[in-house]
Amino acid sequence: MNRFDITIIGGGPTGLFAAFYAGMRGMNTNIIDALPQLGGQLMALYPEKYIYDVAGYPKVLAKDLAQSLIDQALQYDPSVHLGSKITDMQIRNDEKAGEGKPSRYFILNTDDGQTHKTYSILLTIGIGAFAPRKLKLDDVARFEGKGIDYFVQDKSKFKNKRLLIVGGGDSAVDWGIHLHEFAESITLIHRRDRFRAHEESVKQLFNSPVDIKVPFEVKAVHGNSNVEGVTIYNNQTNDEEHLEVDNILLNLGFVADIGKIKEWGLNLIKGDIEVTSKMETNMPGIYAAGDVTTYPGKLKLIATGFGEAATAVNNAKAYIDPSSKAFPGHSSDMEPPPGSK
């Protein structure tokens, strides 16, 4: 069985850019992702949402950004394994290692019965396996898929609908801005009087036709076979209001779990993997980048994930081949991808 130079666990934006960069460094690359498609949250959660904070794009749909990253990553023909979860990791010593290769390697087993051997690992798993936070109210589960949604796969489903958005983060604010052109009306409620979103986005929201109510929460959801209305209340005065709505979009964040990786012996801080400035973990040969990492000054943004991916890959290259340098030189001086001009 061949041993990969690097196995990237996670096929979201950070992992995809890492795969591209590993290809530029001439590394035999493997990608493993638990989701059935590449693109991570960009494709799974909000493909129709605009992304504003990626260099080179004034704004770009998440699904378009994901496709560009996929096209870029696949130029060097990495091995790709989707719908595959890591079940365990083992470390093996190799006294017969070839010249320029580490004397140990990793074995990764997955739930689909596959075994992957690799000299280095890059964890780009984002927040890990994720599930949306849910309201602890009667009837919420009954209306899921019947007027209650957590993600937006197709904006047109809200056309001419009366929509209630619940939440105060970037997702809630962004959907308020982008869906008011489709919906008949939008009310957005947040349990606090301050929003946890980019300042410019909050400004756009307040300049939009969206009816904003703070500090309000949902008290009850009403309807027969589908959502027909909702009772909301001011959590400071307890005053209640009834709204007739067709759809409720709950943007309350996620419950995340990095799964079996917790058992590897990595240093974790509040569920995040501690890394150095080289994106090294406490285990030689294992690197991490993107939202799963923590270090002083860490910002969980796609933009910073790209830089962390390049840092991790270049240092992994130096780890598996000590004769090479971490600094790759300029990309204009490297070999172009196969088939490019």
3-state secondary structure 103-139: CEEEEEEECCCCEEEECCEEECCCCCEEEECCCCCCC
- Do 177 and 244 fall into the same domain? yes
* 242 located within any domain: yes
- Do 158 and 244 fall into the same domain? yes
128-155 CB burial, b ≥16 within 10 A, e <16: beeeeeebeeeebeebeeebbbbbbeeb
Bond preceding residue 78 cis, omega within 30 of 0: no
pLDDT at residue number 340: 62
- Do 275 and 324 fall into the same domain? yes
Each residue's pLDDT tens digit, 2-59: 899 999 999 999 999 999 999 999 999 999 999 899 999 899 888 888 898 899 999 9
Q: In whole angstroms, give the CA distance from residue 319 to residue 296.
A: 24
Question: Which domain does 322 fall in, by range?
Answer: 3-129+255-333
For the chain, what is the domain count? 2
Q: What average pLDDT does this structure show over 271-298?
A: 97
- Edge-first strand listing for the sheet containing 227-234: 216-223, 227-234, 240-244
Residues whose CB falls within 8 Å of the CB of residue 329, separated by 6 or more in sequence, listed in order: none
The position carrying tokens 């964040």 is 253
Q: Which of these three, 224, 252, 280, is where a domain ends?
A: 252
The token duo for 137 is: 């109210």
* 263 located within any domain: yes
- Do 125 and 263 fall into the same domain? yes
* 339 located within any domain: no
Rg (CA), the chain: 23
Q: Tell how strand 60-61 and strand 79-81 pair up.
A: unpaired
Each residue's pLDDT tens digit, 66-92: 999 999 999 999 999 999 999 999 999
* 338 located within any domain: no
Residue 217: strand, helix, or coil:
strand
- Do 263 and 306 fall into the same domain? yes
* 341 located within any domain: no
- Do 267 and 176 fall into the same domain? no
- Do 28 and 105 fall into the same domain? yes
- Do 118 and 219 fall into the same domain? no
Q: Which of these three, 211, 233, 252, is where a domain ends?
A: 252
Query: What is the domain-level CATH number for residue 15?
Result: 3.50.50.60
The token duo for 299 is: 């910002």
- Do 108 and 163 fall into the same domain? no
pLDDT at residue number 339: 65
Q: Which of these three, 197, 222, 252, is where a domain ends?
A: 252
